[in-house]
Amino acid sequence: MENQIEYIIEKNIPVPPRAGFRKGRYPFREMEIGDSFTFNLEYSRENMSLASNAGRSWGKTQIPVKKFAVRKTEDNRIRIWRIE
């Protein structure tokens, strides 16, 4: 004889917030289209990739998807804009 586990299905139980959820390192959540900020990093290919990946990774988790553009600034810093 197999051991049968019985499950009780319940309705309307709210999902609690994630434990340990943190605001995040960058202000992507607060940004509107056209907003930008400067990363606290000097320009390098590695830092440019870090900034680009951070925006793309976060944006893909949002509904609708949010898109960002990353550019080197005249003062050798990195700036990221929300474009969609």
35-71 pLDDT tens trace: 999 987 889 999 999 999 999 999 998 989 999 999 9
pLDDT at 18: 59
pTM for this one?
A: 0.69
Is the residue at 40 inside a domain? Answer: yes
Q: Which structure tokens are listed for 66?
A: 């949010």
- Residue 31 pLDDT greater than 70, yes or no: yes
Is the residue at 25 inside a domain? Answer: no
**Strands 36-42, 77-82: pairing kind:** antiparallel
Is the residue at 74 inside a domain? Answer: yes
| Contact assessment for residue 38 and residue 73, using Cβ atoms and an 8 Å cutoff | yes
Domain that holds residue 38: 31-61+68-82
pLDDT at 21: 44
